[in-house]
Structure 1
Amino acid sequence: MRSVRFRKSIVVTSTVLCAGMALSACGESGKASASGKSQGNVTVATAKGDLEVPRKPARVAALDNTSFATLKAFGVKPVAVPKALLPQQGFEDWKNDASIKDVGTHREPKFEALNASEPDLIIGGYRFTDHHDKLSKIATTVDVAPSDEAKGGYVNALTAQTEALGKIFGEEDKAKEIVAALEKSRQSAVDATKGESVFLAVSSAGKIDNGASRIGRLIEPLKLKNVLGAEGEDSTSVHDNSGLAPETVAKLNPDWMIMMDRDAAVGGEGTESVAAKKLVDGMEAWDRTTFRTKDQIVYLQSDFYVTEGAQAYTEAFDKVATAFNAAG
């Protein structure tokens, strides 16, 4: 699998230029504040190597969406987040809290707003990987985000991420609980799968395409055969249109479909997979496929596209285990 790469818009505005100047002027003060407000330091393994970071930092900017649910479980209230990447449910308090700065998105980050939040620590990585150097000029930036290239793959990297965050925030016991739940659900899904064939699908912009490059991570530990791999796809982006014809899927006739509904996650029509289900049910080419006739379709949780963390994969594995066990 390839590392996560996202398309970026090149936008030059006075705000961005101003932010660039602010980085060099204020970056060192951001780092200095960390030693004054945290409770000592702790060393963690990151994508950039071992890094000494503030322990129990008082002011945290959380940019990596895969970490949001874990931080909330730890009781962390961030000083800054990319509010457009927050799930539609469960994070209303962060979204509506004016004291939590909105730092834009990875495509158009608001560096000035981030700097103004005066973080002791920035949790970067994943969608914000390309901005690591600029972020590090504002405050100590840690990248413990999961990666397809990590030892053992993406799902194992979720365990490492959770443990690292637990170490940083002094929440090792809670981290162990999250990891244990993930491992239990993964094993349940492993036990429930017996070599069935599956089409990994993504619903985006009202179309269904091959989602193997993005959710192939889910079935890596499972006993499933993917009928369409990610070969030839440039990245894990779901914005590309491969031109996949529904007839191609029908000819492959997979036993199962696992669907990620991007439209539901970013505000498309419907909730709880309704938009994707409507598309699937209306695909006449699939009328005689095994997955349609036996109703063997697993719809991942509607916010999966903007979560993708340990809790999201725990729920996804549970969904797979429940569906496959029910089918016998």
Structure 2
Amino acid sequence: MKFTRMRTAATAAAVVLAGSLALSACSTTADEASASGETITVSTNKGDVDVPVNPTRVVALDNTSAETLKAFGVTPVAIPKQLYSKQHLGEWIDDNDIKDVGVHSEPKFDVIADVQPDLIIGGYRFSKHEAELKKIADESDGAFIDISASDDAPNGRVAAMIAQTETLGKIFGKEDQAKQIIADFNAKLDAAKKATNGQTVFLSIVNGGKIDNGAKRMSPLTEPLNLKDVFAGQGGDHHQNSGLTPEAIAQANPQWVIVMDRDAAVEPEDGSKPQPASAVFAAQDAFKNTEFTTKNQIVYLDPGFYLREGIQCYGENYDTIAKTMGGQK
């Protein structure tokens, strides 16, 4: 059975009759709305899609929407547990009733199909699996949406995160809460904007204990701010070593460095504990006379940044940038 936009006349009549028998006015609950097959049309990265009102069997694959779902009180039936921050979504990761769908390189499509989702939230890391996920959603009489806030969003990452939050608010009947999340985010972004006034910066990623150019992943964070990247935003794939040396970084002599510690977010397969990014920076003799070292002008992003990347994460990091670069302690 496919979702319909309106309740049937029989269902509506039954609701009215039940209300009159109880001698009180009553409204339809969210569960009743979902069970009735009522849908709402939302805008996605791939066009308008009809989705069920207040879906209850949600497969949440997109990490950028996960913390908003949690804030709304939504508990998914399946997630990619290795791709979520344990610090922020540990209760989902540890919940055996929430199935693990694997990672984007090897998703467990059978697990996704078995939970019979009425909504699959995909995109971003799972973008190349759209066709298969749509097929599973169709077979479950559900819907697939891509509302992810990707690095290359047409109107920028910030606008994409705001639109994503608004859309989730509509789907789950949490529009007022979505507005508050957006308002909190905008306040932190505005503070970061005020703290940046053209400072030169190196956008760094620490990966495998090495310092490299992280602009590819971090430029969407700094794009709304008034900062000048000393390497003009030319960042390579963070999974590879671009060959950038500490000496080249020192020669560029940025006033500030903003650091994403990928090692802190992704545990090595051999179980070893890599050095914190701060220790890696402190060990570089080439940095001793740089302005960012002598003036202690290094901003370390939230250790879970690489796994989070949603509106809450960006807001928290804008708050850090505002307080650090704005001179607050």
Specify the TM-score bucket, using the shorter chain as the normaliser. 0.7 to 0.9
1:192 to 178, 182, 195: 195
1:164 alignment partner in structure 2: 167
Q: Which amino acid aligns with 1:251?
A: Q
Question: Aligned with 2:241: secondary structure?
Answer: coil
Check if 1:323 corresponds to 2:324: yes
Indicate conservation of the 8 Å contact 1:101/1:113, yes or no. yes
* 1:301 aligned onto 2:302: yes
Aligned position for 1:277: 278
Amino acid at match of 1:190: K
Aligned counterparts of 2:213 and 2:235: Cα–Cα separation in 1: 11
> Secondary structure of 1:44's match?
strand
Deviations 1:270-302 (A, max 9, x none): 69xx61111000011000001011110000001
274-283 vs 246-255, which deviates more? 274-283
Shift of 1:206: 1.1
Instruction: Name the counterpart of 2:115.
Output: 117
Query: Which residue of structure 1 lines up, in the alignment, with residue 204 of structure 2?
Result: 201
> Following TM superposition, by how much is the alpha carbon of 1:38 offset from its aligned partner in structure 2, in angstroms?
6.4
1:175 is the counterpart of 2:151? no
Name the SS of the counterpart of 2:160 in structure 1.
helix
Structure 1 residue 231: deviation in Å?
3.5
SS in structure 1 of the partner of residue 228 of structure 2: strand
- Which runs of 5 or more residues in structure 1 are unaligned? 1-28
Q: Are the aligned partners of 1:37 and 1:58 in contact in 2 as well (CA < 8 Å)?
A: no
Of 150, 154, 157 in structure 1, the residue corresponding to residue 153 of structure 2 is: 150
- Between 1:151-160 and 1:119-128, the stretch displaced more is 151-160
Contact 1:210-1:244 within 8 A present in 2 as well: yes
Match of residue 292 from structure 2: 291
TM-score by length of 2: 0.85
C-alpha spacing 1:327/1:196, structure 2 compared with 1 (3 Å):
farther
Aligned mates of 1:83, 1:203 — CA distance in 2? 23
**Which residues in structure 2 correspond to 1:220-259 (within 5 Å)?**
220-231=223-234, 233=236, 237-259=237-259
Q: How many residues get paired?
A: 294
Alignment partners' CA distance in 2, 1:199 and 1:283: 15
- Highest CA radius of gyration, 1 or 2? 2
Q: Which residue of 2 aligns with 1:135?
A: 133
Residue 36 of structure 1 deviates from its aligned partner by 6.6
The alpha carbon displacement at 1:148 in A equals 3.6
Identity %: 49
Larger relative contact order, structure 1 or 2 (CA cutoff 8 Å, min sep 6):
1
The match for 2:18 is none
Is 1:83 aligned with 2:84?
no
**Residue aligning to 2:39:** 41
1:65·1:306 contact (CA, 8 Å) conserved in 2? yes
Distance 1:134 1:241 in 2: 33
Give the aligned residue type for 1:119: P
